[in-house]
Amino acid sequence: MSPGDLFRAGVASRTINYSSAGLFKLLGIPRKEMTRPEIQTVRVEALALAIGKEPALIVTYDFLANRKAPDAMSMRIAISKKCGCDPMRILFSGTHCHSSWYEVNPSEPNDVKNARQEFDAGVARSILEACDEACRRMMPSEIAYGRVPLNGAVSECRRMVVSNGTVLNCWGMGAPAFPGMKFFDKAIDDIDDAVDFLAVRRTGENLPFAVLTGYGSHIHLLPVPYVNAEVAGWVKALMEERIPGVTALYSAHAAGDVTMQNLESPPINGTEAEDMAWQNMMGRMLAELFVNPVVERIKAAEYTRPRFIAHESYRCGTWGGTPPLMVVHALALGDIALVNFKPELFSHYGKEIRKRSPFSKLLLTGYNESDYAYVGTLLNLEQGGYEMTKSNTGRPETGELTVEMAIRMLEKIKRRSG
């Protein structure tokens, strides 16, 4: 066996430059002010994995989602030419972070339009550069997987069922019930309470040089009008503080009905200084709940060198069309598998994939370039709520199709690998 036939991996990151602060509006209903400068580094990261010549790439970024599918395909082609891989062996995964992405207004003035185009070009360039560097830095490596229960309450179902069977959103801070109505219960009570991780280390080393974590929750905090990576940024920063020399990657997954649970109440009509202090305190508190148990598990993790890398992908529909674009990936690294899917599947579908997966070591990654946002079950559609409005949700069968395609691809890989 030649050295080129051994498992190799490399990682790289790029900081996104917000030189046009003051021109964009952050994405989300409460965020009406123009974006001010950064208070936290916003990044893209690329993890390259290979046996033989052709790599697979996992690209993570501090954005709500890669919302422009044609741009995503052009990025796939550019990366594949630069790195020598199949365009569909590139998995894009966002964090669900509102505070580092922007709203697009069709009537925006030229200076905003030009700044946005410059920013978009910078993002594309950063992704390409990170992928290229990760591939060039690949070295003989080994990997470890873990699923780590959290030490405290982090997430909760944000959909509350009221006495007439419909649903209202609580967003972690309570919700008003209509006169004559009473809250009955949360729409689900089995929140995913564990973090999955993939750690990659150089063969013969003790510490990993890359750690990818995956968790099923919306992660955003109080909408301060500054560019930042919110909880994901705190998780990555703390992981890199705890493990010297590591590059941390973060992926959110199936949690369209799950939100972060504030451990402390946010200020009401507070000053900007009070809002910022709360943001920093809460970000670090939540990051501690993530990072500390993961780092402890990594210390005792068993690393292996995968015998094979296998990838399957499914793609149908068109961006903005009928049916809408849907992309699903399955990537296996020996006995460890990753599934990558569209934004904001409800948690039910993540649990279904995990329950039916032929791979017990499974890491879910969400927020690729698929169209539409929330995907709930038929019951969720009957219950209604913010996520289930026509402007927010795709076809009812999208969730079941995502699960079926993911399981079919994982089973195909399992059979092929023996």
pLDDT per residue as tens digits for the range 130-176: 999 999 999 999 999 999 998 766 888 889 888 888 888 876 545 56
Residue 28 pLDDT greater than 70, yes or no = no
Task: Burial-class residue 30 by CB neighbours within 10 Å (0-12, 13-18, 19+).
Answer: exposed
Angle at 60 between CA 211 and CA 34, to 5 degrees: 125
Kindly state the average pLDDT of the residues 72-88: 93
The confidence band for 68, taking pLDDT boundaries of 50, 70 and 90, is: low
Spatial separation of the C-alpha atoms in residues 133 and 83, rounded to whole Å: 9
Kindly state the average pLDDT of the residues 25-50: 83
The confidence band for 91, taking pLDDT boundaries of 50, 70 and 90, is: very high
Tell me the sheet residues that pair with 146.
197
Nearest by Cα to 219 from 96, 363, 366, 43: 96
Spatial separation of the C-alpha atoms in residues 362 and 357, rounded to whole Å: 8
Q: Which amino acid is at 363?
A: L
Cα radius of gyration (the chain): 21
Question: For residue 45, what pLDDT is reported?
Answer: 97
- How large is the angle between the packed helices 272-299 and 230-242, nearest 10 degrees? 50
Of the listed ranges 12-26, 135-149, 310-324, the one predicted with least confidence: 12-26
User: Would you state the structure tokens that stand for residue 120, as one six-digit string?
Assistant: 């978009």
Kindly state the average pLDDT of the residues 214-230: 84
Instruction: Work out whether the CA dihedral 331, 333, 335, 337 comes out positive or negative.
Output: negative
Among left, alpha and beta (phi > 0; psi -120 to 50; other), residue 363 is: beta
Q: How many CA atoms are closer than 13 Å to the CA of 146, on its beta-carbon side?
A: 23
Spatial separation of the C-alpha atoms in residues 294 and 212, rounded to whole Å: 11
Sheet (strand 326-333) strand order: 309-316, 326-333, 336-340, 361-365
Spatial separation of the C-alpha atoms in residues 127 and 111, rounded to whole Å: 24
User: Would you state the structure tokens that stand for residue 136, as one six-digit string?
Assistant: 């060039």
Kindly state the average pLDDT of the residues 202-210: 96
Above pLDDT 90, what percent of the chain? 54
Question: For residue 397, what pLDDT is reported?
Answer: 86
Helix (H) or strand (E) run with residue 213 in it:
strand 210-215
Residue in the block written with tokens 């961006």: 319
Nearest by Cα to 39 from 271, 272, 250, 243: 272
Residues written for the chain: 418
